[in-house]
Amino acid sequence: MIADSPSPHDPSAAAIPAFLDGSAASRRSLGRAIGAAVNAIGHDLVGRDRPYSGHSPTALDELLGMELAPEQGTDIDAVMRRVGEQVIRNSVVVSHPWCVAHLHCPPLVVSCAAEVAIAATNQSMDSWDQAPAATHVEQRMIAWLARECGLDVCADGVFTSGGSQSNLMGLLLARDRAVARLGGSVAVDGLPASAGRFRIICSDATHFSILKAARVLGLGDVAVTAVPADREGRLTATAAESAADDLMSAGLRPIAIVGTAGTTDLGTIDPLDELAEVAQRLDAWFHVDAAVAGALLMSERERHRLTGLESADSVAVDFHKLWFQAIGCGAFLVADGADLEPIQLHADYLNPEPADSGWDPPNLVDKSLQTTRRFDALKLFVSLQVHGRRFFGRCVEATIDLAAEAAAIIERDPRLELAQRPTLNTVLLRYVPPDGGAETDVDQVNALIRRQLLLSGQAVVGQTRLQGRTWLKLTLMNPTTAREDIRRLLDLVATAGAAADHSAVAGADDGA
Ligand SMILES: *Cc1c(COP(=O)(O)O)cnc(C)c1O
């Protein structure tokens, strides 16, 4: 059997080198392997007329019951062909104009190309000796972003896997500062009993990762005070302040205010400057979740809407949303780099105390919850270099304009109802049966529309709840989508609505 088990050292064992080893042959090998991947994308992703194949979870699970770890390998072309036929063909086409369920962007071509360089060089961002140049590129990108946000020169930060991790970091620093103000240290002693009185003020439109962070941080759901958003979906200063007053009269302690720049459903931007003032009066941490609307920084037309961002104690930005980067790519910023101290922990093998090692290179693990970490900053760097910042501004503006156009079409169509005028790139709508119908029936019909469009592969549309009702959601992430694409999609939704309405009525009749 020895002959059947090729050794990684035996050059005759494989036609192409298995590892990138600096030889021309291994570079060609990488090119060939990438070519196989690009071919698979070409056959099974690009140009598909539907955003999804339509397979149900059960059907997909059956289809993907392939052997996972064969004793003997197969040629990359054959493997990629199979990946194309089975996996890529049953993936959602993120660039399709009717793939509009989530904040899920079509990636820039150059971001995908940068992924190859990231993977092939495989730098690890935890320590300088694993990522010398990469460390400085990331640091400079962070400094650039902090300046764009209007933060002070002592700002700092780190790239993250995305908004959830960035939000967790923001609330972790808020919690630890609150404990420090009481003379304690979470790092040394864990949570004091008084942490049971900590409260985080946000709106009920805040992303659920804030709640998850509160759980992870040992504060629990009870620590999150979700104030009802106003009609436009905003957390107003008045509401935040009165919530804080109520909490304090009950002997509780508001330790943080979370402002959102671009809520997930309505795209609402909270009045950041006003919330910053409230936070300051309360001596509370002000975290801004700019996962979505952070991209407005690139638009001269839109960036004024982020006024107040410069007063944040910490900021979350997602580049794998409206910056069109391949997943994952996010950043976490703090206004004062010294505040990152609770995250710093020294390991002899990785980032020893400068006094012990005799020198002090920047080891980014000092600022991150992750240890081994990808060089995601390179994707954003390459994309900004190739396209320039104005391109990003125009792309974001295009998605905002598309949402406004979609809303105008919905308002003119008697079969559809618009929840409210969009503020960013999302549109909430629903189908209304010609005879009106009970609210719960309308909810059901709209849920059915979404499911039927998905399971026929025709369109991937979002669904959410607003003021107790079910709404369909279009999240317009593709700047190249045409108005006509939207008009046809909305017609499809209305047609599917009429069909779903009939089948729901028929179902009710059957049951009677
Ligand atoms: C998407 C989103 C997040 C979570 O970000 P991930 O990158 O998915 O972890 C947080 N906040 C808001 C407002 C979001 O839209």
pLDDT tens column, 434-445: 988 788 899 999
Which whole number is the average pLDDT over 115-133?
97
- Residue 69 CA to residue 11 CA, distance in Å, equals 23
- CB-ligand 1 contact for 164 (6 Å cutoff): yes
What is the structure's pLDDT at 508? 52
Q: Is 166 in the pocket of ligand 1 (CB under 6 A)?
A: no
Q: Give the pLDDT of residue 111.
A: 98
Across the range 273-301, mean pLDDT stands at 98
User: Which helix (H) or strand (E) element contains residue 226?
Assistant: strand 224-227
The number of the ligand 1 atom at minimal distance from the alpha carbon of 318 is: 7
Lowest mean pLDDT among 14-28, 159-173, 203-217: 14-28
Q: Give me the pLDDT at residue 506, please.
A: 63
DSSP conformation class of 26 = H
**What's the CA gap between 511 and 328, in Å, rounded?**
47
Nearest Cα residue to 349 out of 338, 337, 365: 365
Residue linked to tokens 């979870």: 57
Q: Which atom of ligand 1 approaches the CA of 162 most closely?
A: 7
Which residue's CA lies nearest to atom 10 of ligand 1? 163
Q: What does the pLDDT read at residue 48?
A: 85
pLDDT given at position 512: 34
d(CA 163, ligand 1 centre) in Å? 4
Nearest CA to ligand 1 atom 4: 163
Quick one: CA torsion of 104, 108, 113, 118, rounded to 10 degrees? -50
- Cα 28 to the center of its chain, rounded Å: 35
Ligand 1 within 6 A of CB of 267 = no
Taking the C-alpha atoms of residue 474 and residue 170, their distance in angstroms, rounded to an integer, is: 29
Give which of 250, 265, 262, 160 is closest to 213, Cα–Cα.
160
What are 25-74's pLDDT values in tens digits?
999 999 999 999 999 998 888 878 999 999 999 999 999 998 999 999 99
Residue 186, H or E segment: helix 186-189
Instruction: Determine which of 8-22, 79-93, 188-202, 454-468 has the lowest per-residue pLDDT on average.
Output: 8-22
Model pLDDT, residue 505: 61
Q: Is the CB of 241 under 6 A from ligand 1?
A: no
How far, in Å, is the centroid of ligand 1 from the Cα of 179?
Answer: 27
Question: What whole-number distance in Å separates Cα of residue 136 and Cα of residue 139?
Answer: 5
Q: pLDDT tens-digit profile of 450-509?
A: 999 999 999 999 999 999 999 999 999 999 999 999 999 999 999 999 998 887 666 554
Alpha carbon of 309 to ligand 1 centroid (Å): 17
pLDDT tens, residue by residue, 399-418:
999 999 999 999 999 999 99
Atom from ligand 1 closest to the CA of residue 206: 13
Cβ contacts of 156 within 8 Å, gap of 6 or more: 142, 146, 333, 334, 336, 337, 340, 367
Per DSSP, 325 falls in state: P
H/E segment holding residue 406: helix 389-412
CA-proximal residue: ligand 1, atom 5 (nearest): 163
pLDDT-based confidence at 4, cuts 50/70/90? Answer: very low
Residue 254 Cβ inside 6 Å of ligand 1? The answer reads: no
DSSP for 188-224, please give it.
HH---GGGGGEEEEEETTS-THHHHHHHHTT--GGGE
The CB-based long-range contact list for 479-486 (8 Å cut-off, 24+ gap) reads: 479/394, 479/395, 479/396, 479/398, 479/399, 479/402, 480/398, 481/97, 481/402, 482/97, 483/402, 483/405, 485/97, 485/98, 486/97, 486/402, 486/405, 486/406, 486/409
Rounded to 5 degrees, φ, ψ at 328 are -110, 150
Residue 103 CB less than 6 A away from ligand 1: yes
Confidence of residue 2 (pLDDT cuts 50, 70, 90): very low
Residues 195-253 have pLDDT tens digits of 999 999 999 999 999 999 999 999 999 999 999 999 899 999 999 999 999 999 999 99
Place of tokens 């369909």: 472
pLDDT of residue 6: 52
Q: Regarding beta strands 330-334 and 314-318, do their DSSP bridges make them parallel or antiparallel, or are they unpaired? A: antiparallel
270 lines ligand 1 (CB under 6 A): no
Closest CA to 327 of 84, 162, 118: 162
- For residue 163 and ligand 1, the question of a CB distance below 6 A is answered with yes
The percent of residues in the chain predicted with pLDDT above 90, rounded, is 87
3-state secondary structure of 425: coil
Would the CB of 291 count as within 6 Å of ligand 1? yes
- What's residue 9's pLDDT? 57
Residue-averaged pLDDT of the chain: 94
- Reported as a pLDDT band with limits 50, 70 and 90, residue 107 is very high
Name beta bridge partners: 226: 202
